[in-house]
Amino acid sequence: MSVEERSEAVDASEEFDHWEIDSTVGKKSDKAAVLTIIERMTRCQIAVKLVLSLLIALYAFSQ
């Protein structure tokens, strides 16, 4: 769902259990990325470093 399509309650961060997910690739190397997951009301954040070789292996395994 696009950010523009979310409800007012989600936008106002008044309800628990609405999560945002984002990924970022750094400038120094495209071999790793950071995945962040944030609960909008509490601002609880989970951040995970993703390594390209691991992602490729997981994708190949899932096929």
Q: Which domain covers residue 51, as residue numbers?
A: 3-62
How confident is the model at residue 53, as a pLDDT? 74
Residues 26, 16: contact at Cβ < 8 Å? Answer: no
Q: How far is it, in rounded angstroms, from Cα 12 to Cα 22? A: 19
How confident is the model at residue 18, as a pLDDT? 81
Residues 32, 52: contact at Cβ < 8 Å? Answer: yes
How many structural domains is the chain composed of? 1
Q: Which residues of the chain fall short of a pLDDT of 70?
A: 1-4, 6-7, 10-12, 30
How confident is the model at residue 1, as a pLDDT? 63
Q: How far is it, in rounded angstroms, from Cα 30 to Cα 37? A: 20
